[in-house]
Amino acid sequence: MKRSWFFFILIFGFQFLNAQVVRRIEFSGNKKTKEKVLLRELTFSVGDHILQKDTLQHSTNSENNLFNTSLFNFTEVTFRDSANDWIVKVNLQERWYIWPEIHLEFQERNFSEWWKNKDLSRLDVGVRLNKLNFLGRNQTLQLNVFRGFTESIGFQYKIPYLTHRQRDGFKIASDYSTQNEVFTDIYNNEMVYIKNDSIPIRTKFHAQLEYFRRTGFYKTQYFNVRFFQYRGSDTLSHYSDRYFGRPDSFLRLMNLSYRFKLDKRFSQNYPLEGYFFDFQWDLFGLGKLDQSNLSIPRFMTSFRIYKKLSSHQFWALGTHINHYFSQNIPFILQSGLGFGQYIRGYEPYILYGTSAGLIKTNYKIQLLAPKSVTLPFIRKFKKFSKMHVALYWNNSFDAGFVLNNNPQTNNLTNKILMGIGSGLDWVTYYDVVFRTEYSINQYGEYNFNIAVVAPI
């Protein structure tokens, strides 16, 4: 036993003697971003002992951490041997941090649903003013105004680093909106609306306080307190008992939530390698304390894994579970599959219930490897002229299930649903993903869809 410990100490000491010290870290390209924000994302510090064989892994992980802050278009970390010490150079290209975005949003859940009627009145047009990397500390200030189907105004302010240890963050947000047409029911697995052209049917006020703690590079905990107030007009009062869970067309409630996230994806906007896991506990309503007379617990969790099969082939698997620990849920608080989480091939349908499960798989082939392209006509504007471009052929198989104890005419609940699809994914700069997809479900129904997020 003593001999084993002796050899272990001898080998460890030999490696330590061959490791080189990080003597200095030099940054370039960070005109706005503070160095302490950059140091937070590096997997090493000045004074660390690093072996030659470990430098590539440190460079790759640090570049990815910096890129996933969404502060930079390009990141490069290189180790240079200088008199048996390491001099590390971190080269960055900052993004444009003031974005007056013009947003066009469909009231329907996806493009294919809107395209059936091509109704311009069911579009929201708005301006979202983003000040990213505020004060050079990765803070975000956002103001938004929307007109159209939903009229709203709101703001958000996020501070990722409250303390010198750069672990604790804070966010405050609020918005107010009105709607003249409201989703109030599901019939034959499709959304049912009521409408009043002259006055808003429903108003909503929302406020949020969030505290979060990021441990290391990949683990984050979120603690949220949200306040909601909904008020319905006379038009909505006929549906009040089911929609609000009370007869007076008014609902005020608190929402408490806790979320844990483990994110080790290599590129969060379009991951090809790594994995992601999270779970969240919600409590909607505090009974008599917030006068909602509601206390509805909900649990959600998801897991995604991404594998590189070869230089041009990739595979991904994603799962999602959503469960309410209550049977009596006001319609306005219900969820399931059909919005952010859906089965490809079933895009036209909405499935609500007390429990929902989803499995999504992707097999993709790289048609155009990621490359940097410089646009000559805006070469002088370095934050825009250099861009990433990549193209993938994406093939999918999905399966899902929603438990509903009172399905009525919604015959797609309480059974396993499956769909397959194929399409093209364009990936470019500023985290933009553009997907075109053609899918078919087990009943032979075809669907074409356009999306701007990664498939899993």
* Cβ-proximal residues to 40 (8 Å cutoff; 6+ apart), any chain: 161, 166
Structure tokens at 235: 């038009």
Query: Rounded to whole angstroms, how far apart are CA atoms 90 and 69?
Result: 15
Counting Cα atoms < 13 Å in the Cβ hemisphere of 123 gives 12
Query: Rounded to whole angstroms, how far apart are CA atoms 223 and 34?
Result: 27
Query: Rounded to whole angstroms, how far apart are CA atoms 258 and 210?
Result: 10
Is the separation of the CB atoms in 452 and 101 below 8 Å? no
Q: pLDDT tens per residue, the chain (456 residues)?
A: 555 544 444 444 445 457 899 999 999 999 889 999 999 999 999 999 999 999 999 999 999 999 888 888 889 999 998 888 999 999 998 887 776 666 666 666 666 666 666 666 666 677 778 887 888 888 889 998 888 777 899 999 999 988 888 899 999 999 999 988 888 999 999 989 888 878 889 999 999 999 999 998 999 999 999 999 999 988 888 889 999 999 888 999 999 999 999 999 988 888 999 999 999 999 999 999 999 999 999 999 999 999 999 999 999 999 999 999 999 999 999 999 988 899 999 988 999 999 999 999 999 999 998 877 766 655 566 655 567 789 999 999 999 999 999 999 999 999 999 999 999 999 886 667 889 999 999 999 999 888 878 888
Query: Rounded to whole angstroms, how far apart are CA atoms 86 and 58?
Result: 12
The model's pTM is 0.86
Is the separation of the CB atoms in 358 and 337 below 8 Å? yes
According to DSSP, residue 81 is labeled E
Buried (b) or exposed (e) across 277-303, using 16+ Cβ within 10 A?
Answer: bbebebbbbbeeebebebbbebebbbe
Is the separation of the CB atoms in 157 and 149 below 8 Å? no
Q: What angle do CA 106, 130, 387 make, to 5 degrees?
A: 85
Residues present in the chain in total:
456
Strands 417-428 and 386-403: antiparallel
Give one DSSP letter per residue of 373-413, joined into a string. Answer: EE-GGGTT-HHHHEEEEEEEEEEEEEEEEEE-S--TT-TTT
Question: Helix, strand or coil for residue 275?
Answer: strand
Domains parsed from the chain with CATH numbers: 2-94 (3.10.20.310), 98-451 (2.40.160.50)
Query: Rounded to whole angstroms, how far apart are CA atoms 437 and 448?
Result: 6
Give one DSSP letter per residue of 197-217, joined into a string. Answer: SSS-SEEEEEEEEEEEEEETT
* Closest CA relative to residue 333, chosen from 248, 251, 225: 251
